[in-house]
Structure 1
Amino acid sequence: TPSEWQIARGDDSRLPSGGRFAWVKVELTSDGYDRAHVEQVQLATTSPSYLEHLPPIYGMDDDGTLEHLLGLFQGELSDMEWLLDAMHRRFDPLQAPPDALPWLATWVAWTQPARASEAERRALLSEAHRLHEDRGTARGIRDAVERHTGIRPAIVASHEARRLWVLGQSTLGLETGLMAALPDGAILPDPSAAPVVGQITVGQAEPRPKAEFGAPLFSDTAHLFSVIVPAGAIADNAQFDLLRDVVAAEKPAHTDAHVCAIEPMMRVGFQARIGVDSIVAGPPAPMVLESRLGLYTTLGDDPEAPARVGRATIGESFSLGRATTHATGLVHRKTIGDIT
């Protein structure tokens, strides 16, 4: 209670022991010619003394000399003690100081995105153990590329685009191709059979084990995938190099990755993947009176004239296949063989 408080002397003497709180009252006076001001007020309280950690015999009949000497060491080591007391905070991503976040990231083998804010870096460090579970997967690679570059890529495994040859349906040169090697490796020919030149390369071909039968048929597409991003989303070469570095760091070690920047073009059989790098357009807009000839509209051609490359439109001026006849009359469309 306030009645139990004791007024200390004005000199640099020790305060009476036994209390927990101290009030500092400063009274300023002036002679009217100069303004009174306070330079500094310092109050040193008695913290737990190192004398408490020594055997009791050191505190018997002590005049304070030993405690003052221990206080010199305590003043120097108190900052270290505070750091040790707050050490647990440095291991918490949400409480660690900003300068400790890079050091904390090395503990969990985490690479922080350069574009991430401090709040995002703390959140990523908190989820690093879970994000590591997705490393090497398609989702993990997509998330990593988006974190570092801001671009959400599409990932296509090469085996998904592999064509299956079907007798009577596959087109030679489009859906078929020559094998890189024999499915079963180099086979010793029948001595009575005619020799085949160029089938086996000396020093490169050898009989394959039974477990690797057919491996040459799939070796070109096995463990290979493509990372596809729109070319317009890439700001400069530095961002594209960063994207490739992220893919190289996140992909499985036994796989190869091909980073593709898709330009605005459409190549059927090579680059056209609906929803990934190509979009099917809707029907053309109806012609209005304000349409400009040559820009929004074109003059009709002779229905019987052959279609010309660069002027014919699939589904409008010609169709793939034969011309069809409806009840209303002949539909004037050219077949693919009529194009000149």
Structure 2
Amino acid sequence: MRRTARFFSFNKPSDWGAGTAANLNIRQEGVSIERTEKYSVYRTVQAGEIDGADAVTDFAVGPGSKLYVLDAKASLWVHDYENRHTEPLYSPGHRLFSNHSMLAAEGDSLYIVDTVGERRIVSVSPSNGQLLWAVQEWGGLELFPLAVAVDDNRNLYTAVPLDVRPEASGGPDIPAGGRIAVLQWNASGEAVQLYEHEPLRLEQSAPIEALRNRFFLAIAGSGEPVLLDADAKNAVVFRKDGSVRDEFAVDREGTFAGLTVDSARGLYIGDSGRGESAQDERFILKYSERGEFLTVVSGYRSRADKLLHDGIDRMYALDLEKGTITLLDLQTRTMTMADTGLPEAWYVSAELDSAEDETEWHKVELLAAIPEETQIRISYFATDEKFGVLDGSVVDYSDYFADPDIPLTRKWTASRHLWSEPIVNPRDALLMNAKGRYLRFRIELAGSDRSAPVIHRLRMWFPRQSPIVHLPPIYQEDPDGTAFLERFLAMFGTFIEEMEQKIDTVSSNFDPDAVSGPYLKWLGGWLALDIADGWDEGKLRTLMKQAPELYRLRGTRRGLARLLQIYTGVEPHIVEHHQLKAMQETSEMRQMFNRLYGDNPYGFCVMLPPECVRSDKQRLIVEAIIADQKPAYADGKLIVLQPWMHADMHTYLGINTVLSEPTLLTLDQQSSMPHHTVLIDPDRDKRMDIHTRLELDSELE
């Protein structure tokens, strides 16, 4: 007697959860190697691409694909790197700021900060270069900005020294112990917040000129400044209220420059390469907002003198040595496994119990997406015993493979003699020599740097169901020939099983709730629902379920109203010509009704609110429904009601027009006037035909 085929299915995260995995990402959509986003070079902007520009000294990121670039001649350029178009904003010789200036931009605001110019902080319009506001001092203190950043709300932040000796020999300097703070400016140029931290002091005096490129500023979140002292290798993260959230040391080798923060509050610090670092060891370092070192941005291995992020988390790195601005884009990459260092993942299943000794397991069926240069390898072993010898000891297989303290590589080595030869990229493969009550399988997913295979579903079938049993006994007598014939017939067996499964489930194709997409439209074609072309699936299912009743009501007012309600979700108002006869007593009324509803005695109007007919496509569908459902001799007209009150138009009280209660006339937030107040001119009272009201302001003697 032929036994019913059964299977263990793995197609939900809970199915995979019983096994042991390494570097495996289990999601509802499928199982794959863990993926991560890494920065890679998207584009490099060379100084030569900016027509007329000298060596690049600073830059800021504008809207779209625009960059504001400052060169060694103090010229300011607007460069569109996508379209390779450049326009000058300030040409050489303007004397508004020097080539040592620092730039910051957000939206339609551009800020220029200069430690040596007449105007220390300037806000200009990037469209025409018009000066919006400028400041030179704050609270009587001359400003010497050392770093600059801007937040999403166009608030500007500048790192400034609070203790300056302007008359020192050789120019202004900061004495030993001099404080460094962060000043916040709003979009109007007003200083609104001061961020201080006691340890932010210079250990020894230094001229202002020597502090250039020592301090770097970035904004976390929507307004939390982060200040980096590159020489002291120390960073401070402030809260919005001015208090200190975190402080951490950059405990890495190198000479650092540049600071930026992404939308997930990750901190990036660049390596300017001004120390002993070799050219090939320069990386951008990534820290958490708490100062924990996370990783290096291996996609960029060059000098970084300034770092910026834009609104889509694209990172920009300035290399002053090469005069280039490099754009780094986040790209999804396959993660490597810690044990092997390769882009792969391993999985070992829990035991699959057939509940019967000496079960012959049939086949593995795999539904997966396997890109080029990737691979899926499946091995298995079956046994009637729960215990075995591994590493010279008797172990429980379940406990051994689930033990997290035993490295996977050790498990592979110790159990190598148990597993079958791997089946590579199986779609439907027989499990040869798999005999036993318990079955375990292991999966090795091998990916590439940018892609990885995804398993959507896996099934292990049992017991063995081979078409060879239907052949004469002579074909089953030779063991060697039987094995080959069994594998050969398995291809046809799979085809036959799929056909039988389709036949068993064919009834579900006629259930509107069980099908979707093209099959749902195909099923609708059986009911001649031509008017439903362009309907969404939910409305189409409702229409198909009510189709028998709607066919009985076709050509009636009730049937038209129900069909329109299914499509629009609103019950329409239908006005027929015979309903208006009693109101057409005068010629004036008759003319108005003819204009509004037409003069065809077999005509009718369907009125719907505007939210039901928002597009031309919706209007066409509604008109098609009316034309399909009306009697052949009748004339149907669609009227879209507007929310108004106009005499002699389609104005219906309670439908598209509402009369509200009288309200007060509000003059300002503290004064109002009742609705029944009459304004008059008292100086002109008691005159005939002018504000004359008997017994109120006038009397007859």
1:191-340 matches, cutoff 5 A: 220-231=599-610, 234-263=613-642, 264-268=644-648, 271-279=650-658, 281=659, 284-285=662-663, 290-291=671-672, 299=679, 305=689
Look up the match of 1:126: 545
CA contact 1:228–1:261 (8 Å) conserved in 2: yes
1:39 aligns with 2:422: yes
1:83-102 matches, cutoff 5 A: 83-96=502-515, 98-102=517-521
- 1:20-43 deviation digits (Å, cap 9, x = unpaired): xxx8359965179xxx99733842
Look up the match of 1:30: 413
Give 1 or 2: higher strand fraction. Answer: 2
Amino acid at match of 1:39: P
CA contact 1:227–1:260 (8 Å) conserved in 2: yes
Equivalent residue of 1:109, what SS?
coil
Distance of 2:527 and 2:548 partners within structure 1: 8
Which of the residues 137, 157, 174 maps onto 2:588?
Answer: 174
Indicate how the Cα distance of structure 1 residues 120 and 258 shifts in structure 2: closer, same or farther if over 3 A, else same: closer
Distance of 1:234 and 1:39 partners within structure 2: 60
Equivalent residue of 2:382, what SS?
coil
**Normalising by structure 1, what TM-score?**
0.51
CA contact 2:577–2:604 (8 Å) conserved in 1: yes
1:255, distance to aligned residue in structure 2 (A): 1.3
Distance of 1:31 and 1:24 partners within structure 2: 17
Distance of 2:677 and 2:473 partners within structure 1: 108
CA contact 1:145–1:152 (8 Å) conserved in 2: yes
Distance of 1:157 and 1:3 partners within structure 2: 73
Amino acid at match of 1:174: E
1:160, distance to aligned residue in structure 2 (A): 0.5
1:158 aligns with 2:537: no
- 1:198-240 deviation digits (Å, cap 9, x = unpaired): xxxxxxxxxxxxxxxxxxxxx9443210011234664344433
Indicate how the Cα distance of structure 1 residues 292 and 37 shifts in structure 2: closer, same or farther if over 3 A, else same: farther
Give 1 or 2: higher helix fraction. Answer: 1
Distance of 1:127 and 1:50 partners within structure 2: 50
Look up the match of 2:563: 144
Gaps of 5+ in 2: 1-353, 361-380, 384-396, 402-410, 424-428, 433-462, 592-597, 696-701
CA RMSD of aligned residues (A): 5.0
1:257, distance to aligned residue in structure 2 (A): 0.8
Amino acid at match of 2:662: P
Look up the match of 1:63: 476
Indicate how the Cα distance of structure 1 residues 7 and 250 shifts in structure 2: closer, same or farther if over 3 A, else same: closer
Indicate how the Cα distance of structure 1 residues 30 and 159 shifts in structure 2: closer, same or farther if over 3 A, else same: same
Equivalent residue of 2:623, what SS?
helix
- 1:67-126 deviation digits (Å, cap 9, x = unpaired): 85766544433322221221111112223354421111111223547463x455444433
1:60, distance to aligned residue in structure 2 (A): 5.6
CA contact 2:578–2:601 (8 Å) conserved in 1: yes
Indicate how the Cα distance of structure 1 residues 50 and 4 shifts in structure 2: closer, same or farther if over 3 A, else same: closer
Look up the match of 1:80: 499
Distance of 1:265 and 1:286 partners within structure 2: 21
CA contact 1:113–1:147 (8 Å) conserved in 2: no
Distance of 1:70 and 1:37 partners within structure 2: 22
Distance of 2:626 and 2:543 partners within structure 1: 18
Indicate how the Cα distance of structure 1 residues 96 and 300 shifts in structure 2: closer, same or farther if over 3 A, else same: same
Distance of 1:266 and 1:107 partners within structure 2: 47
Percent identity, please: 22
Distance of 2:664 and 2:514 partners within structure 1: 62
Gaps of 5+ in 1: 9-22, 53-57, 178-218, 307-328, 330-340
Distance of 1:158 and 1:146 partners within structure 2: 22
Indicate how the Cα distance of structure 1 residues 88 and 254 shifts in structure 2: closer, same or farther if over 3 A, else same: same
